Amino acid sequence: MGPAPMATALCLMGPTATGKTDLALALADRLPIGLISVDSAMVYRHLNIGSGKPSPETLARHPHRLINVREPWEQYTAGDFAQDASLAIQEISTAGRIPLLVGGTFLYFRSLIQGLALLPTADPDLRALLETRGLREGWPALHRELALLDPVAAARIGVADRQRIQRALEVCLLTGKPISALQSQHQEAAGLRSPGRFFRIGLLPRDRGPLTERITRRFHAMLERGFLGEVEQLLAMPQMQPDAPALRAVGYRQLAQFLAGACGKAEAERRALAATRQLAKRQLTWLRREECDLWLDMASDTLIQDLEAAVRATALRMQYQP
């Protein structure tokens, strides 16, 4: 007998600072929701302030799956997430609750909903060579090289996105094929899975102005709460290395550069805020490509009511009785 099919789940998707977590918590106060975090920073222990992680008191009241599941120096891939989230969905469903995935890491959502292409594992020697070249020649130069090998991938990767440029070049050089072609072939073969298994809810700003203001306010609030001290504590851990996965997170990377003496404090804060705004822009681009079943305006006065009504209607189709 084969494995049981994955239970249907809800996905609340949106850029950073749109209020996804607060909205999910409000919904969990009203309905039997089981929450699953979809956030590549919140998976790490000790990344609390800068990741916007819910407080311990909030997590005690409304537990979230896939928060605090790795140490900051450990890898956590999109494939790891897809496997862990699938198990969490099944367990929540079996317990008679409604699985709700909430977050803004769209690669995680896509890995779960569409699956991941079978790509080669990292080659340490080639990766080190690309890292050395990136530092010597600059990542925009390697991005131009990628554009010749895989123009489709280069068009959706930023010229300074070191990690994704490195991975795309690595796949091209290891397989002789563009990473975009491998991903496209996988999606066609997988048939994008069954669209009925996931009810996608997109949370969007009506315009970017209020979102930019909210990002700025939230970032300064994080600084006041001790964000810099949190990064200092991370760097003081014996196991931490400058290239540790957690230190790639937006905000953490820039403040770590200041603590390493690479720039001044004000410059690090400016870079961190700019990087957060760029992250929100990329997330908006990802979200607008999604075929969401419901779109919500983050500034709506009836946001929670609209979401609750949609979830109740969807839950009935999922054979739940909230």
Residue 313: the pLDDT is: 86
**Where residue 237 sits, what CATH number does that domain have?**
3.40.50.300
* Residue 116: predicted pLDDT: 61
- The upper half-sphere exposure of residue 163, i.e. CA atoms within 13 Å in the direction of its Cβ, equals 10
Q: Measured between alpha carbons, how far is 260 from 212 in angstroms, rounded to an integer?
A: 28
Of 194, 198, 199, nearest in space to 307 by CA: 199
Domain assignment of residue 69, yes or no: yes
- Indicate the pTM of the whole model: 0.78
Q: What is the pLDDT of residue 221?
A: 98
Boundary (domain end) residue, out of 183, 201, 216? 183
Measured CA to CA, the distance from residue 12 to residue 292 in angstroms comes to 10
Beta bridge partners of 9: 198
**How many Å apart are CA 149 and CA 60, to the nearest integer?**
49
Same domain membership, residue 17 and residue 161 = no
CATH number for position 177: 1.10.20.140
Nearest residue to 243 (alpha-carbon basis) of 91, 77, 128: 128
- Residue 128: which domain range? 124-183
- Distance, in Å, from the CA atom of 317 to the CA atom of 31, rounded to the nearest integer, reads 15
Query: How many other CB atoms sit within 10 Å of the CB of residue 290?
Result: 17
The verdict on 90 and 239 lying in the same domain is yes
How would you class 58 by CB atoms within 10 Å of its CB: exposed for 0-12, middle for 13-18, buried for 19 or more? middle
Tokens for 162, please give them.
């070191």
Of 25, 31, 176, 164, which is closest to residue 106 (Cα–Cα)?
A: 164
Would 1 be classed as within a structural domain? no
pLDDT value for 284: 94
**Domain boundary pick from 142, 157, 183:** 183
| Assigned domain for 188 exists | no
Q: Report the DSSP beta bridge partners of residue 36.
A: 65, 101
Whether 2 is in a domain gets the answer: no
Count of structural domains within the chain: 2
Q: Are residues 134 and 54 located together in one domain of the fold?
A: no
Pair 33, 135 in one domain: no
Cα 23 to the chain's mean position, in Å?
17
pLDDT values of the chain reduced to their tens digit, one per residue, 322 residues: 344 444 479 999 999 999 999 999 999 999 999 999 999 999 999 999 999 999 999 999 999 999 999 999 998 888 889 889 989 998 998 898 999 999 999 989 988 887 765 567 777 888 889 989 999 999 999 999 999 999 998 988 888 888 889 988 988 888 888 888 876 665 554 444 444 478 999 999 988 899 999 999 999 999 999 999 999 999 999 999 888 999 999 999 999 999 999 999 999 999 999 999 999 999 999 999 888 989 999 999 999 999 999 998 887 666 544 4
